[in-house]
Structure 1
Amino acid sequence: MATWTPDPSFYPSPRMAMKAPPERLAYVAMLNTDTIARPDALGVVDVDPGSSGYGRIISRLDMPNVGDELHHFGWNACSSALCPYAPHPHVERRYLIIPGLRSSRIHIVDTKPDPAHPKIVKVIEPEQLAARANYSRPHTLHCGPEGIYVSALGNGEGNGGGPGGVFLIDHETFDVLGQWEIDRGPQFLSYDVWWHLGQDTMITSEWGTPDMIEDGLNPDLLLGAKYGRRVHFWDLHRRRHRQTIDLGPEYQLALELRPAHDPTKAHGFMNAVVNLTDLSSSIWLWHRDGGQWAMQKVIDIPAEPADPDQLPPMLKGFKAVPPLVTDIDLSLDDRWLYVSCWGTGEMQRYDVSDPFRPKLTGSVRLGGIVGRSRHPSAEGDLNGGPQMVEVSRDGKRVYFTNSLYRSWDEQFYPEGIKSWMVKLDATPDGGLNIDERFFLRFEDGFRGHQIRLEGGDASSDSYCYP
């Protein structure tokens, strides 16, 4: 009699996942800025230090259409498949689900036959997504016990408006199952989606509807405090809205959600990109307070004074460079928080052993709107800055790229971003060191964005066991 054996990359607990073998490959979403003629692509990067191809793209999978704007992607299945209340031990971490944020097209990519040369096996067209879930502009996805959860920024009417929300994809057939929400309450804007499986709670954050973001950051909307600033808490099992927390109108662009990996913990971190009063960025902690969820600001990152002549038109009048924290990542042991300051060109590392009192322990500067800090192995100054960040399961390696979103790239780096990917080594004492051997300069016309690591990474999995 045949027996099912769970995928060896699934781990019951984050503590066990930290002992997994190191990744040898990284998958990177690559935007092609020549959208008239050439499609976006998935790059496969050699991250094995013992390989002769270390730090280089070893294959590229072109998408079948142009104009997708590949963005946040992830696996069809992960360690949550081992949860006792919805076990799926027979599924594999095999397929990458890659949405096009601008096209609303979703690509299913098979990595199993040859992980270094993945293949597209299915494409979900925007018409199918709209018909099944009444959503468009898929943004972020995570593999959950029941299937693949995907956040979407827009409705399915094709008018660039909302509400955005969450829909489910079956993690074996890849059929769009439908809209997740039974009762969305006051929620309208959408961005990220994550959860606390141990608390039966889902959390969503806010960016904007497609017509608010696709042509770039709109100064009138920003100064009018119209972008996302609320965090929503949901009953995960009953699919109903339970609570909203408003950060306040000055805190704009409430984006990335990073819950604690240990399911016995009920806290997590979120970044607010800009404070309208002083251009600072901030990190917020959500936590339980009695029978409700609460949030408090635990990190402030100030803007840095700058010569207006060195600033893009959007920032000249402010005479400062905002940090523009656009991504964060939390190590599997829930101890280290990594913070990408895309504007100032700084990657920060915080000790969050006490989540209410983070301590800055390490920092590296690369690129930046004004600083243009160099990499030891690069020729000349760098532009762009630390943006999408991913941490290895053992917490020793930190990878990041430097492109945010095409129309926003052009506003803050109007000369055009020259895209790169780098790796840092995270030391046990909290420091960060640049790996001088790893500097990937993407081919002209391509910009790297989201990174996924072979076998899983610090933001790919959720766990049901402590």
Structure 2
Amino acid sequence: MSETPADRSLYRTPADAIAAPPEKLAYVAGFDRTARRPDALITVDTDPESASYGRAVNFTDMPGLGDELHHFGWNACSSALAHACHQNPERRYLLLPGLRSSRLHVLDTRPDPVRPRLVKTISAEELAAKAGYSRPHTLHCGPDGVFLSCLGGAGGAEGPGGVALLDHTTFEVLRAWESDRGPQHLAYDVWWHLHAGIGITSEWGTPSMIDDGVVPELLLGRGYGHALHFWELDSGRHLQRIDLGDEHQMVLELRPAHDPEQQWGFVGVVTNVLDLAASVWLWYRDGTRFAVRKVIEVPAEPAKTENLPPALQPFGAVPPLVTDINLSVDDRWLYVSAWGTGELLQYDVADPFNPRLTASVRLGGVTDRSPHPSAPGTPLTGGPQMVELSRDGKRLYLTNSLYGSWDDQFYPDGIDPWMIKLDADTDAGGLTVDPRFFPHGEDFRGLRVHQTHLHGGDASSDSYCFR
């Protein structure tokens, strides 16, 4: 069993993480839609006792243009405490992929966590030459290296997408993780059940399927991803494909149980082409195989044609567009972002097979434009998109941009960036918007904001090896 770590932001168990002190800083990926200014990692003050609470306090600019920073992550997480591949692991470096540029930037948060500094850039050429991939999307610290999911192949190839493996310490690209990909072609997220030695991947699309927004012919032709894949984690060998049904288009965020003894998790599905509903599915071990079950459905909302963007006018409705979900560290609460309708939903998932809706908040939305309580007369653009959750489950941080070209389709009047904090009741359920926390617009220098991670870890950063 591991000794107490030198880095106290690595937690032996989920309970240890929950009991840790609250976060005082958040890191937010910001990008310039015009690609005329550098993208930036933005530091936001989350300490309620600070004079700069709720404000952006630093911008670390990237060295080039056109990255479109999207998802990012840490070099090490709590599972490093049980893996010999890490020597003196530290949650120190943030790795920021450019979804459009295929570059990967490494930022050091020591010695000054407010002002991370760029220490390395991995080129698109290195990623392509050593792993055979491009268009990096999501990364997590894993048992053999940093796992980096990628949507495209090398040399402009449309696919297959997959997972590149990076060295934990030098961040050099080692190789492609997959040894036998079986029927897998489309990529999006990657996660795992460490004790069981099982990897899981989901599906979105190849670069041409996403770069210029949703392709209606592909969507209605059921051409986007609609399956989950299960893998042997140590070898990268494909074990099982589960098709959710090709009407269920775009199978995105994976949220496995944090309890390392459990083999279940949730995945969000953006839309059903039959009725525009979004859904959340549960995967679970069923004997020697995995099975899935739809456990949440969020219906589309009727709307007047004149209030809809051109992309939605033929349908006469606003799809919820569930584009992110997040599971609390105690595996009790699930949060679902409906970016289209502008709703953040809270579910009690103490019984993961039977989620129970306990609260919801309206912010933005294609037609509603529901305002923040501190600015009741100002309609919000965009809607709850990425949602990050504190380790103790009491605070949620929302941002409102999905992907530049998709923003433009669903919110053609433009997206004014915002970040909103919610306080959660973790006993009976409930959500309240914090009126003091509302960085927006020029607070972010006009950069659109996407994923958030919290200094010291959060609900989506870590997997655990001990109960």
When the two structures are superposed, what TM-score results if normalisation uses the length of structure 1? Answer: 0.97
Deviation at 1:89, TM superposition (A): 5.1
CA distance in 2, matches of 1:207, 1:367: 25
1:65-91 CA-partner distances (Å, limit 9, x unpaired): 1100001000000101112x5362502
CA distance in 1, matches of 2:72, 2:441: 19
The 4+ residue runs of structure 1 with deviation greater than 6 A are none
SS of residue matched to 2:175: strand
Aligned to 2:254: 257
Aligned to 1:46: 45
Aligned to 1:407: 405
1:19 to 2:16 alignment: no
CA distance in 2, matches of 1:17, 1:5: 13
Aligned to 1:281: 278
Give the alignment partner of residue 108 of structure 1, picking from 106, 117, 122: 106
Trace 1:370-409 onto structure 2 (pairs within 5 A): 370-378=367-375, 380-409=378-407
Contact 2:86 2:168 in 1 (8 A): no
User: Which AA in structure 1 matches 2:27?
Assistant: Y
Trace 1:67-466 onto structure 2 (pairs within 5 A): 67-83=66-82, 85-86=83-84, 88=86, 90-159=88-157, 161-378=158-375, 380-427=378-425, 428-443=427-442, 445-466=446-467
1:168-219 CA-partner distances (Å, limit 9, x unpaired): 1111111111100110001000000000001110000000000111011000
Contact 1:271 1:325 in 2 (8 A): yes
Aligned to 1:34: 34
CA distance in 2, matches of 1:5, 1:297: 39
Contact 2:5 2:81 in 1 (8 A): no
CA distance in 1, matches of 2:256, 2:78: 15
SS of residue matched to 1:369: coil
User: Which AA in structure 2 matches 1:314?
Assistant: A
CA distance in 2, matches of 1:333, 1:60: 33
Equivalent pairs counted in the alignment come to 461
CA distance in 2, matches of 1:461, 1:358: 23
SS of residue matched to 2:19: coil
SS of residue matched to 2:218: helix
SS of residue matched to 1:440: coil
Contact 1:338 1:348 in 2 (8 A): yes
User: Which runs of 5 or more structure 1 residues have no equivalent in the other structure?
Assistant: none
User: Which AA in structure 1 matches 2:448?
Assistant: R
Contact 2:254 2:266 in 1 (8 A): yes
Distance 1:308 1:91, change over 3 A: same
CA distance in 2, matches of 1:232, 1:333: 25
CA distance in 2, matches of 1:419, 1:359: 31
SS of residue matched to 1:178: strand
Deviation at 1:4, TM superposition (A): 9.2
Deviation at 1:5, TM superposition (A): 4.5
User: Which AA in structure 2 matches 1:29?
Assistant: A
SS of residue matched to 1:456: coil
CA distance in 1, matches of 2:433, 2:212: 34
Contact 1:33 1:445 in 2 (8 A): no
Question: Aligned residues: percent identity?
Answer: 63
Contact 2:81 2:89 in 1 (8 A): no
When the two structures are superposed, what TM-score results if normalisation uses the length of structure 2? Answer: 0.97
CA distance in 2, matches of 1:281, 1:179: 32
SS of residue matched to 1:157: helix
CA distance in 2, matches of 1:147, 1:4: 22
User: Which AA in structure 1 matches 2:71?
Assistant: H
Contact 2:41 2:59 in 1 (8 A): yes
Deviation at 1:158, TM superposition (A): 1.7
Contact 1:388 1:400 in 2 (8 A): yes
CA distance in 1, matches of 2:236, 2:320: 36
CA distance in 2, matches of 1:305, 1:89: 55
User: Which AA in structure 1 matches 2:79?
Assistant: S
CA distance in 1, matches of 2:60, 2:302: 42
Contact 1:81 1:89 in 2 (8 A): no
Contact 2:95 2:106 in 1 (8 A): yes
SS of residue matched to 2:235: coil
